[in-house]
Amino acid sequence: MTDTDALIRAQGLSVRFAKKQALTDLSLSIPKGRVVGLLGHNGAGKTTLMKALVGLQRHEGSLSVLGLNPSTQRTELLKSLCYIPDVAVLPRWAKVGQLITLMAGLHPGFSPERAKDLLRRTSVGLDDVVGKLSKGMVVQAHLALVAAIDAKVMILDEPTLGLDVLSRKSFYEMLIDEWCDGERTVIISTHQVEEVESLLSDVLMLNEGQVVLNISLDQLDQRFVALSHDAAAADAVAAAHPLLRYRQHGQSAALFDGAPPDAVVALGQRVRPSLVDLFVALTRAPELNRRA
Ligand SMILES: Nc1ncnc2c1ncn2[C@@H]1O[C@H](COP(=O)(O)OP(=O)(O)OP(=O)(O)O)[C@@H](O)[C@H]1O
């Protein structure tokens, strides 16, 4: 990717609250057509970054989204960017059909027909009042409304928080089937790392306000090597300084950034590193790595 293809570009992005440095000198670029998982522990800075991307967070450094400055060109930006924050914001008194009428009046890129089509995928009806819907139904209705906007970037902050596994699955199916088209980019923050792994094209990992990984899943498979091995090989594997030692399918395993020496590889069997193991390896203090 050349940098000019990027839909989102940040350089030296920092956010400081009174007592907390929430983001420190982030630099990244995200191209079109990607499904990016934004991962990080509680307090890592995910919401702060998303708010900066949509122009709701003062920051230092430069930030460009769709070629616009989110802080100073927010109105223009919101024509092509949609955002579901981590708090439910649909008015509880409104009927879903009324929200469609409201959105049609407010947003030039919103298609009422598309919203109604998307709602047919859910169990939410046009006459349903938001306040009487379950949490899962509200989230589905919210996605149907937002996905009916002809935008280029969608930002979702923990969109499936509090939903059961079936609701989470249907949420992501609707998002991928109905909104992602190979040109649009979506950024999803979540703690459900295992569940989203198969949906993602890229992962952006934050730890204590800093980027610890920004990589496509294809590159990730090439760069990181996981080795499953017998207990007898443990000391020799540990001597090669893996990022993480853990257990997988009842076997000891070790995760390396880059291939370890051939002699070490020969001690075990190369397996696919999972995103969750990588997340643990890159976001917890090295001294916490247990002997596997
Ligand atoms: N308005 C604020 N005032 C002061 N500190 C804040 C404010 N918003 C966020 N923070 C702090 O900034 C840090 C990053 O918070 P942020 O909400 O971005 O984390 P997060 O990765 O989204 O966490 P979570 O997974 O818990 O939602 C935290 O230490 C938080 O306490």
Q: Write the residue with the smallest CA distance to atom 12 of ligand 1.
A: 22
Percent of the chain with pLDDT over 90: 67
Query: 27 and 95 share a domain?
Result: yes
Are 168 and 284 within one domain? Answer: no
In this structure, what token pair is assigned to residue 3?
């940098």
79 vs 107: CA distance, rounded Å: 7
29-54 mean pLDDT:
95
What is the interface pTM, i.e. ipTM, of the complex?
Answer: 0.98
Task: Say if residue 57 is in the same domain as residue 110.
Answer: yes
Q: Do residues 203 and 224 share a domain?
A: no
- Show the ligand 1 pocket: residues with CB < 6 angstroms: 17, 20, 22, 40, 42-48
Q: How far apart (Å, rounded) are the C-alpha atoms in residues 100 and 214?
A: 36
- The answer on 173 and 87 residing in a single domain is yes
Which of 180, 208, 236 is the last residue before a domain boundary?
208
Q: What is the Cα–Cα distance from 251 to 228, expressed in whole angstroms?
A: 6
Question: ∠ CA 228-231-233 to the nearest 5 degrees?
Answer: 75
Question: Is there a domain that residue 264 lies in?
Answer: yes
215 occurs within a structural domain = no
Strands 6-16 and 21-31: antiparallel
Residue 178 lies in a domain: yes
Domain co-membership, 278 together with 239: yes
The answer for 67, left when phi > 0, alpha when psi is -120 to 50, beta otherwise, is: left
Q: Residue 36 — very low, low, confident or very high, per pLDDT cuts 50/70/90?
A: very high
Domain-located, residue 121: yes
The rounded distance, in Å, linking the Cα atoms of 282 and 204 is: 12
With respect to residue 235, please indicate whether it lies within any of the assigned structural domains: yes
Which residue, 208, 242, 273, sits at the end of a domain? Answer: 208
- The model's pTM: 0.91
| CATH number of the domain within which 171 lies | 3.40.50.300
Q: Does any domain span residue 213? A: no
Q: Concatenate the DSSP letters of all residues of the chain into one string.
A: --GGGEEEEEEEEEEE-SS-EEEEEEEEEEETT-EEEEE--TTSSHHHHHHHHTT-S--EEEEEETTB-TTTSHHHHTTTEEEE-SS--S-TTSBHHHHHHHHHHH-TTB-HHHHHHHHHTSS--TT-BGGGS-HHHHHHHHHHHHHTB--SEEEEESTTTT--HHHHHHHHHHHHHHT--SS-EEEEE-S-HHHHTTT-SEEEEEETTEEEEEEEHHHHHHHEEEEEE-GGGHHHHHTT--SEEEEETTEEEEEEESPPPHHHHTTEEEEPPPHHHHHHHHHS-GGGPPP-
Same domain? For 204 and 224 the reply is no
Q: How far apart are CA 116 and CA 125, in angstroms?
A: 9
Q: Mutate which of 17, 158, 160 to test ligand 1's pocket (most atoms within 8 Å of Cβ)?
A: 17
pLDDT at 6: 87
- For residues 168 and 124, membership in a common domain is answered with yes
State whether 265 and 140 are in the same domain.
Answer: no
Ligand 1: residue of 19, 41, 48 to mutate (most ligand atoms within 8 A of CB) is: 48
Res 3: pLDDT: 56
Question: Is 31 domain-assigned?
Answer: yes
What's the total number of domains in the chain?
2
> Which amino acid residue places its CA nearest to atom 31 of ligand 1?
43
pLDDT over 60 at 212, yes or no = yes
- For the CA of 40, the closest atom of ligand 1 is 21
Kindly state whether residues 150 and 242 are assigned to the same domain.
Answer: no
Helices 165-178/135-147 angle, 10° precision: 10
Q: Is the pLDDT of residue 2 over 80?
A: no
Q: What is the pLDDT of residue 96?
A: 97
Is residue 39 within 8 Å of residue 197, measured between CB atoms? Answer: no
User: pLDDT category, 292, cuts 50, 70, 90?
Assistant: very low
Range of the domain at 173: 3-208
Residues whose CB falls within 8 Å of the CB of residue 200, separated by 6 or more in sequence, listed in order: 35, 36, 37, 188, 217, 275
Which residue, by CA, sits nearest to atom 16 of ligand 1? 45
- Indicate whether 267 pLDDT > 80: yes
Which one of 208, 239, 262 terminates a domain? 208
Let me know whether 168 and 24 are in one domain.
yes
44 alpha carbon to ligand 1 midpoint, in Å?
7
User: Pairing relation of β-strands 251-257 and 244-248?
Assistant: antiparallel
Q: Is residue 214 part of a domain?
A: no
Q: Based on the fold, state whether residues 133 and 185 are members of the same structural domain.
A: yes
**Closest ligand 1 atom to 15 CA:** 12
What are the pLDDT digits (tens) for 102-118?
A: 999 999 899 999 999 99
Query: Residue with the nearest Cα to atom 19 of ligand 1?
Result: 43
